[in-house]
Each structure stands twice: as C-alpha cells, then as structure tokens.
A and B are shown apart, each in its own frame.
Chain A
Amino acid sequence: MLRFVLRRLGALAATLLISSFLVFSAMYAAPGTPESFLVQGRTVSPEVLASIRAQYGLDDPFLIRYWNWLGGVLTGDLGESLTTRQDVASLLASRIPTTLWLTLYAAVLIVVFGVLAGALAGLRGGAFDTGVLLGSSVGFAVPTFFAAVLLMSVFSVTLGWFPVFGSGSGFAGRIEHLTLPAVALALPAAAVVARITRTAVVEEREAEHVSVALARGVPWRVVARRHILRNAMLPVTTIVGVNIAALVAGAAVVEHAFTLDGVGAMLINSVQQKDFAVVQAVALLLVAVFGVVNLVIDILYAVIDPRVQLGGESA
C-alpha cells in the first residue's frame, strides 16, 4: 500500500514537472507580450521598454527563464504579480478559501444528490426513475453560466432567499453566500453522477450473486445495501472523483458569475491582463489538485475493490 502511494506520488511529481513546462511555455505562445500590457497602450521610449524587459528578465533565453521560475516555485516563491506588484503566493492564499469552500460544497451536493438520486432510481425504478433520467438530462444540458444567472434571478432577486454576490464570512455566512454558486457548479456533474449511478445499480441488480443472495433468503434491504449498492459504487467512485477534480476548473465560470473572489475568478482576470506569474501559478495549482484528487480516488478504489492489486505485484 505504502509503495503504491509513493509510486503514485512520484508519478504525480513528474506530471507536475511536465505540466509546469507546458504552462510556462503556453503563455509565451499566446499572442501579446507582458510588457505591452505593462505600458498599457502608452507610447514609451525603447529605453523604458528595455528596462522593463530587463527588470522581468524577459530578455533571458526561454529555458533560463523557465529554470529561474521553476526554482522559485520549488522554494515557494511564485513570483510577483505584474498588475498589483503583490506576492503571488500570498495573493493565491487569500483566494484559496473561497474556492475551497465552493468546491467542497459542490462536491457534497454531487455526492449526496447525484449518488442518492441515482441509487434510488436504480433500486426503485418506476416514476422516480423516469424523473431522475429526465432531470439528469436537463441538469446536464443547462450551461453552468446560464444556471447561475437563472438561480440568481429566481432565488436572490425574486425570492430574496440568498445574497446575490460576495462569499460571506463565518460558517453560516459562507453557506448562505455559497449555496447558489455551489448548486450552479454541481448541477451538471450531479446529473452525470446520478445517471452513472443509476446505470451501475441497474446492472448490479441483474448480477447472479444478487439473485443467489435473494434465493438464500437474505432480506432485500441487506441485499440492496451489501450486494447491489456496494458493488455499484465501484464505477461511481471513479466518476465522482473525476467530476470533483474538474470542479476546480469549473469554479472559474461560477465565481465570475457570482463575483466571488476565488481562484477561478483570479485566473480569468489574470489571463485577460496577461499577468504571467499569476496564470502560471493558478494553472499549476489546478493540475496539482486534479492529480491529488485522482490519487485519492485510486487509493479509495483499491480499498473498496479487493480485486485491484496495488502495485501490480502480489499484495
């Protein structure tokens, strides 16, 4: 088990290294240069431009720049924002709580409503099943941005149940402020999860060992819990994991719509302003979160399915 985790952590580090290079070079592949943003359309003398380029090390060869940046990242120095002159690490730290709360809230919604609705639909069938199938199609089809606007106009503006913007403070405040954003963010993923769960449950219901257990007189509720739901959770775990990992990226749209001061909104702003250091840091963070969530899912999968042998060799 330990060897498996260590090996996966090594793979994660390699992934991060490769993506750091891609992230770093992608910014230079995009049109426009940082100094053209810095001068903000003003006409400046070539001397000033040269001094700016020298100050940000823009004249160094590409690989040298990458190396310097990577060294900084590894020592916790993510550089300085081009627009605000603030330290990127502390900037990021101030933004992380909002996004963390938002995605955690959305993840809980996905697990609770997606898995619950799918499981009940698969076990019960009938009208509830049809309702879940229909609801999940709608939930998946509605774009997140549209859902955000819709939720705001109905629950904030018309009914006045929730605040329109801001991320709130304290636990209750956060819950109050983040409910609508979290719902908007969770909706498509919950729809997918509900549908996958339903399919897995229906499939597992048909398994021979389920009918064997029933034919042995094991009560239905025990069979449903121990044999149908437990086994159906194997594929569901993977889908839930991938969807939760993707939330961090999806949060950008929702944070923008609800004007929340999270990492996602920060990413959008910094891309628009070509704030190199911030974009690189946020992109790297997204990759890291995705990798860590996937690692957790893989470990969880091995725990719930004994047939998965960690490390490939004998357990």
Chain B
Amino acid sequence: MNVLELDDVRLDLPSKHGDRTLLRGVSLSLAPGEALGLVGESGSGKSMTLRTVLRTEPAGARVTGRVLLDGRDVRTLGAADLRRVRADAIAMISQNPRAALNPVLRVARFLVEGLCDARGESREAATRRARDLLAQVGIADVDRCMASYPHQLSGGMLQRVVIAAAVASAPRLLLADEPTTALDVTTQSEVMAILDGQRREHGMAMLFVTHDLELASAVCDRIAVLYAGEIVEIATPAQLHAAPRHPYTRLLLDSRPNIAARVPALPVIPGRPIAAYEVEGGCAFAARCPWAAPRCEREEPALVHDAGRTTRCLRAGELADELAGAPADDAAGVSGAPAETGRDGETEARA
C-alpha cells in the first residue's frame, strides 16, 4: 500500500474578489521509502499541496478530494486523531528554520517537546534521543547546541536541528518544503546530504518541494512538475532529463543555465506564470507554450498515463521527439521561443 495518496485534491481560498482556486485536482502517490519531488514556479501550488497533507492550509480554505495516509483519509480525521497523525506519522521541514523555532526557548525544549508533549514519551528518553540525533545530523558540540537559543545558532545549524526533530519521531512520511532555500549556498548541499542520509537510514518516504529541478533530480526517485495548481508531468529524473514530455518541463530544464558555456542571454520561460484561478478552459500553459496549437486553447488536457510516463499535454505524442534531447543541443530552438511569444503578445495587444 502507498504511504501517501492524493486523489483529486482541490483547494479554494475565499478572498475579497471571490473564491480563488489554488489547486485544481492534484493526484499523486508515494510508495514506502520513496522520495517524490514537487517542482514548479512560485504560486504553482507545491507548498499548498504539502499543507493539505498536514491540514495546515490557510484558515477558511476549502479542500476537496482525498489525502490517504496508509489508506486513511487525513482530511476526515477528528482533532485527536489528526494530532496523533501529526505527532507520529508525518514530519515537516519548512523553509526557514529561524521562524520554525520559538525564539525565546532553548533548542533542547524544541527537540524534546515533539517527543514529550506530542507523543507522551518520558523526558529522559526524549532528551537522550534528541542528543543522539543531533550528533547524527553532524552537530559537533551537542551540549552547547541543546542549551542554545535559536538566535545563537546559524541557519545551517538550525535546519539540522529541525531535521533532527523531524526524524526523532520516526515518521512514515517526511514533508520538506524548500528546506535549503533560506540557507547559504555552501551549507545547502551539506544540509541536503544530511536530510537525504537521514531519510534513507530511517526508511522514510519524502515529499520534497523545491523550485530547483536539478536538486530534485539529485535526491528524488520521481519528480512531479506542477503548473498553475495541477500536475503536468510525473517521471523519473532520468526520463525527465533525457526526454521531457511536457513543454513546460522542457523549458524548465532549459532555463537552468549551463555552467560549462557562457551564453549571451540566459534563457527564460516566456510570459509570466499564471495562478490556478486564472486558468480559463483549455491548457493552463497554452499562453506561454511555444508549441501551442489552436486546440490547446480550447480543450483541457487530461493527465495521461502511457508507457510508464504521466503527462498532461494534448500534443505529447507529436512533440515527443522535438522535446527530447539535451538542453545544449536544443539551444537554438529555445532561444527562438521567447521571440515567438513576443509576437503573440503583440497580436494580443492589437486584439
């Protein structure tokens, strides 16, 4: 059985200008011990997807669909059961460790609290395990770290503390929301390695949210690409890099500059990312897609599972060969893309 299964999860957030749809039916599954990357631009709904799992979505949000954790729907749990699931089965690592810890309490308090107050373990046992885990995540002076206040530690140290706290309860599922984005570049890879190591060691499944396709490729078994509140493609990192099936994935790969070659202008994805609530029929990506055909504006593509690949594109079949290939080979084709949309923009302006 899958650890986690999201089945057509939709999220609407009421606002002054009427309801805003943030997720338009996200479905995905996570096998035990598997790491799944959720990749997309800001506002694509990747963090919101994570939050529906822990039920920490903003107040007033309406969520439909099912979120099954080991076959049990998290969305229908009562308060006591939900608290138990949060304490035992799921752990979350958020982007900014400095905001995750209470600034006026010592690190030891934060670590022990998740075991004592949340799970009813004894203070001694909790303290012992907290110390062990701090050592495991590479903290040299455990005593000093335990006795420190958050403001006395660096961001990298704090994120290690958060990782230690997350794995302390031996959860089935780890939710990581851009865990290295707020850190220095030099500590990013270190923290990522620790996170990945701890995950493998404790056999936890992980839903890893990032905007960094390369990072996701390095640590995840599969990657789900999100656009405007829905999944447009799911594939293994190898498949994705060798032959992306969705135009958006292709452009995401290309927008990552090649460090081996200096280019006159960095490739960018034309247009601006749209939010889920701005989608009006047809393919959500059609407006920015260099390969868009007239029917893309009318017909809404479905997520199609075909030969081990999962894609949401009407032209996936026809474009398969064109989208495949290493980014460098395709450089000419991509640099042409912005120009094409530039023309589109003009036609729109005239119309």
**A interface residues with partner B (beta carbon < 8 Å):** 207-209, 211-219, 222, 226-227, 230-231, 234, 304-307
Contact = CB atoms under 8 A, between A and B. Distances in A.
5 contacts: A213-B113, A217-B87, A226-B102, A227-B105, A307-B149
Given A208-B96, A306-B149, A307-B151, A217 B118 contact: yes
A234 B102 CA distance: 13
A213 B102 contact: yes
Given A218-B113, A218-B118, A219-B118, 5 more contacts: A209-B100, A213-B102, A215-B86, A217-B83, A231-B104
A230 B102 CA distance: 10
Given A217-B83, A217-B84, A208 B100 contact: yes
A209 B102 contact: yes
**On chain B, which size bracket covers the interface?**
20 to 34
A278 to B, nearest CB: 45
A236 to B, nearest CB: 14
A212 B100 contact: yes
Contacts of A219: 83, 117-118
Interface of B: 54, 56, 83-88, 91-92, 94, 96, 99-106, 113-114, 117-119, 149, 151, 165
Contact of B103 (A214, A216, A217, A307): A307
B94 A212 contact: yes
Contacts of B99: 207-209, 212
A216 B118 contact: yes
Nearest to A228: B102
A208 to B, nearest CB: 4
Contacts of B54: 215
A226 B117 CA distance: 11
B108 to A, nearest CB: 13
Residue among A212, A226, A227 facing the most chain B CB atoms (10 A cut-off): A212
A214 B113 CA distance: 11
Contacts of B92: 212, 215-216
Nearest to A227: B102
A213 B99 CA distance: 11
B119 A217 contact: yes
Contacts of A234: 104
Contacts of B117: 218-219, 222
A305 B114 contact: no
Given A212-B94, A219-B117, A219-B118, A304 B86 contact: no
B326 to A, nearest CB: 41
A230 B104 contact: yes
B104 A306 contact: yes
B105 A226 contact: yes
A209 B149 CA distance: 14
A231 to B, nearest CB: 6
Contacts of A222: 113, 117
B105 to A, nearest CB: 7
Nearest to B119: A217
Residue among A211, A214, A217 facing the most chain B CB atoms (10 A cut-off): A217
Given A215-B56, A216-B91, A217-B88, A304 B104 contact: yes
Closest 10 CB pairs of A and B: A217-B87, A217-B86, A217-B118, A208-B99, A212-B100, A306-B149, A209-B102, A216-B114, A222-B117, A218-B118
A216 B165 contact: yes
Contacts of B84: 217
Contacts of A307: 103-104, 149, 151
Contacts of B87: 216-218
Contacts of B102: 209, 213, 226-227, 231
A81 B92 CA distance: 72
Contact of A208 (B86, B94, B114): B94
Contact of A218 (B91, B100, B106, B114): B114
A218 B109 CA distance: 12
B248 to A, nearest CB: 31
A203 to B, nearest CB: 14
A217 B101 contact: no
A207 B102 CA distance: 9
Nearest to B96: A208
A216 B82 CA distance: 10
Contacts of B149: 306-307
Contacts of A226: 102, 105, 113
Contacts of A227: 102, 105
A295 B167 CA distance: 44
A63 B118 CA distance: 69
A246 B264 CA distance: 68
